[in-house]
Copies of this chain bind each other. A is one copy, B any other.
Amino acid sequence: MVSSVGTYVDKFERMLEQYTGARHAVAVVNGTAGLHIALKLAGVMPGDEVLVPALTFVASANAVTYCGASPHFVDSEEATLGIDPDKLREYLKNTTEQRSGACFNKKTGKVIRVILPMHTFGHPVRLEELLKVARDFYINLVEDAAESIGSLYHDKHTGTFGLLGVLSFNGNKTITTGGGGAILTNNRELAQKAKHLTTTAKIPHAWDYRHDEIGYNYRLPNLNAALGCAQLEHLPGFLESKRRLYHLYQAAFQGFIGGDLFSEPAGCQSNFWLQTLILNNEHKKELEPILAKVHEEKFLARPAWTPLNQLAPFQHFPSMDLQTTENLAQRILNLPSSTCLGPKD
């Protein structure tokens, strides 16, 4: 047997712990798998609701449905492009009630079990305020840090503030394992459960095949973990390049009247995964023509995701007013962001 269990998986996990400062890292096959298991471990059960930003990749909402739960979409803010903690607090105050240590949606009667903020394009959300909201309303916080490896909030790595956090090493991310991800947590028991659930819930034994619950085949292959180890060694250099590129765009867009280059939020150090131009409101009609033109010229640029509440499979899930999300989605333009782009490009 050349096994998919192997020394590089362990090594990659220890390197991730050292890099992020999380007590425990569990490598998984991709970020989606990580979100699925992190939500389960944060207590999400069939019939629950999970607060998800409408402005995120579809994997976040998909993972909620894998738990048999409903995504409940919340609005983002211009300052971070992530969940707006003030608006969320007001919303929860008016629409939920707290009993027996849980948060109940007064309209649906369901338990809101988890809030799942995402650090958009590598820019941290206002974690301190969101953690307070979570605590005050008896909701667990799980960080979707799929885009934010290398991003710090108050000098601490994103993904290490919530009960659990999830990284992604998909092919388009700052570092890649081909496909891959990791669950971060400071809780030893949760880490052990994450490892158990992602490896078919097999009871350790030299030869017996026994499994004590319904598990998943979410293990990261050793081959991909080996690539991850090598990539992590390059991460500081990649982050420097990303920041240098940001400064190049900053200089290039000096005096530009069509919009603003998005910078890192106060008190944060962003990884600048994707460089982001936010068009002014009066120029948002130009987003589609710009995208068409840029693609015609064979450059890679992209808009934000279609807000998840607008997708057919998610239209019937609960949602707060999403004014800022809907506006931002018409104004976000991600510019070419490769670490190999320099002044000449």
Contacts from A to B (Cβ < 8 Å): 1-6, 29-33, 57-59, 62, 65-66, 170-172, 176-180, 200-202, 206-217, 219-224, 227, 291, 295, 300-306, 311-313, 338
Contacts and interface: CB of A to CB of B under 8 A. Distances in A.
* Shortest 5 CB-CB contacts between residues of A and residues of B: A178-B221, A178-B223, A32-B217, A4-B171, A179-B221
Contacts of A209: 57-58, 302-306
Nearest to A223: B178
A202 B305 CA distance: 11
Q: How many copies make up the complex? A: 2
Contacts of A59: 200, 217
A275 to B, nearest CB: 13
Contacts of A4: 170-172, 176, 178-179
A29 to B, nearest CB: 6
Contacts of A220: 179
Contact of A312 (B170, B212, B303): B212
Given A177-B223, A179-B219, A206-B295, 15 more contacts: A1-B172, A4-B178, A6-B171, A29-B179, A31-B217, A33-B217, A58-B200, A62-B214, A62-B215, A171-B222, A177-B221, A178-B222, A207-B295, A208-B306, A209-B306
Contacts of A32: 216-217
Contacts of A222: 171, 178
A210 B306 contact: yes
A343 to B, nearest CB: 21
Contact of A224 (B170, B210, B223): B223
Contacts of A6: 171
A62 to B, nearest CB: 6
Contacts of A66: 66
Contact of A207 (B5, B172, B210, B302): B302
A219 B29 CA distance: 10
Interface-centre pick from A206, A207, A312 (highest chain B CB count, 10 A): A207
Given A1-B172, A32-B217, A221-B179, A212 B300 contact: no
